[in-house]
C-alpha cells in the first residue's frame, strides 16, 4: 500500500479527532485536511489526517446513541 493512501475513516464515516478528542462525521478533505462535522450537527472543523482515527466500538455506540437521542427530541 502506498504511504499516501487514506487509512482513516472515509467520507460519511464516523471519525475521532485525537487532537481534540472529538467524534464526528467525515464530510470530505480539503487542502490536505480532513473536514469533520459534529454528530449532532453544527460547524465543521478541520483535522490533520494523522489525528483522524476510527473510533472504538464503545465510542461509536455512544455517538450513534447520541444521534438517535437528538433525533427523538426533534421528532425525526
Domain spans of the chain? 14-74
71 vs 13, higher pLDDT: 13
Q: CA angle at residue 75 from 73 to 76, to 5 degrees? A: 110
Whether residue 8 contacts residue 23, with contact meaning beta carbons closer than 8 Å, is answered with: no
Question: What is the spatial distance between Cα 12 and Cα 3, in angstroms, rounded to a whole number?
Answer: 22
Sheet-wide strand order for 22-30: 45-47, 33-38, 22-30, 14-17, 52-53
Q: Given a cut of 60, is residue 4 above it in pLDDT?
A: no
Q: Given a cut of 90, is residue 40 above it in pLDDT?
A: no
| pTM given for the model | 0.76
% of residues, the chain, pLDDT over 90: 54
Amino acid at each position: 500500500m502506498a504511504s499516501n493512501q487514506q487509512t482513516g475513516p472515509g467520507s460519511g464515516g464516523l471519525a475521532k479527532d485525537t487532537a481534540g478528542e472529538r467524534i464526528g462525521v467525515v464530510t470530505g478533505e480539503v487542502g490536505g485536511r480532513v473536514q469533520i462535522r459534529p454528530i449532532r450537527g453544527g460547524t465543521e472543523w478541520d483535522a490533520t489526517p494523522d489525528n483522524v482515527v476510527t473510533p472504538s466500538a464503545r465510542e461509536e455506540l455512544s455517538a450513534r446513541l447520541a444521534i438517535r437521542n437528538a433525533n427523538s427530541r426533534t421528532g425525526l
